[in-house]
Amino acid sequence: MVKVNPVPTNWCRKVTFFKEVFMSKLLIVANVLNIFLLIVLVSSVAGFISFLNIYGLFLAFVTAAIAWSVFKHQRWGYFAAAAWALACYQLAKQGYEFQSIKRHVMILGFALIPVALFLHEILGKAAAKVAQNNGKESNDGPKMPD
């Protein structure tokens, strides 16, 4: 009979340690990117207010709502920030807005899309799932035929 050596516990500890170190470094990077995204959103609110018209106030309000949800680490806020960045990129590309800073808005919008989606996956809080059957396992539901 061949005796198989189990996985040494020392090896498992090393893997767990490296996993924890990697995740902590990933969270540090995510928090830095989150601060960068918040700075861009808050400065955009100020920029939209400087339009001095109702359209600018509307854009500032929408951007402030997105910034608040990013500050609260809500998943939809990060996704909305990615959509917002894409919209700003498109507005600048088409020439509808941002005439004097067109190139900067396009570069920043293009760069913020993957950042916001990355933060959506790493920092975004998942919505609390409500147990549909109060935590009880039941086999009363429809079953697939064998």
SS3 4: coil
d(CA 60, CA 66): 10
Q: What percentage of the chain reaches a pLDDT higher than 90?
A: 32
What pLDDT sits at residue 13? Answer: 66
pTM of the entire predicted model? 0.71
What would the 3-class secondary structure string for 51-115 be?
CCCHHHHHHHHHHHHHHHHHHCCEHHHHHHHHHHHHHHHHHHHHCCCCCCCHHHHHHHHHHHHHH
Please report, for residues 7, 55, 125, the alpha-carbon distance to residue 98 in angstroms, rounded to integers and kept in the order given.
Answer: 60, 13, 33
What pLDDT sits at residue 51? Answer: 83
Does 132 score more than 60 pLDDT? no
What pLDDT sits at residue 130? Answer: 45
Write out pLDDT tens, residues 73-126.
888 999 999 999 999 888 888 888 788 888 888 899 899 999 999 888 888 776
Does 131 score more than 50 pLDDT? no
d(CA 74, CA 60): 19
